[in-house]
Amino acid sequence: MDDREIYAAVVRAAESGQRVALATVVRARGSTPREAGSKMLIGADGQQQGTIGGGCGEAVVLEAAREVIETGVARLVRVELTDDYLSWSPAVCGGVMEVFVEPV
């Protein structure tokens, strides 16, 4: 999904009065599934358009988006995709992403 489709979805959400959050990868270091600039739109109902990479990292961002939609306060989320020996599903990427989540 390219940025035009994401922004069109933002306009549709605004026109319908739906509360949404926009997640944007602002920094990616090491091996990450998506590059800086990648976007994902998350609705109050949990539906999403676009992706920032899937998996456990995206789940962290989805949870942050719920909080951002509820509070109206933007936040920066650090997503570490490094191997964690306690994880049931170890990350294979090995990088770190910083994702800005903002209400729109």
E strand or H helix at 39, and its extent? Answer: strand 39-43
How many domains, in total, are found in the chain?
1
Average pLDDT over residues 85-94: 55
User: What are φ and ψ of residue 4, in 5° steps?
Assistant: -60, -40
Per-residue pLDDT at 68: 98
Please state the length of the chain: 104
Rounded distance, CA 25 to CA 96, Å? 10
- How do residues 3-58 score in pLDDT, each as one tens digit? 899 999 999 999 999 999 999 999 999 888 888 999 999 999 989 999 998 888 88
Rounded distance, CA 83 to CA 87, Å? 8
Specify the 3-state DSSP secondary structure of 88: coil
Q: Are 29 and 19 in contact (CB under 8 A)?
A: no
Show the domain range for 96: 3-103
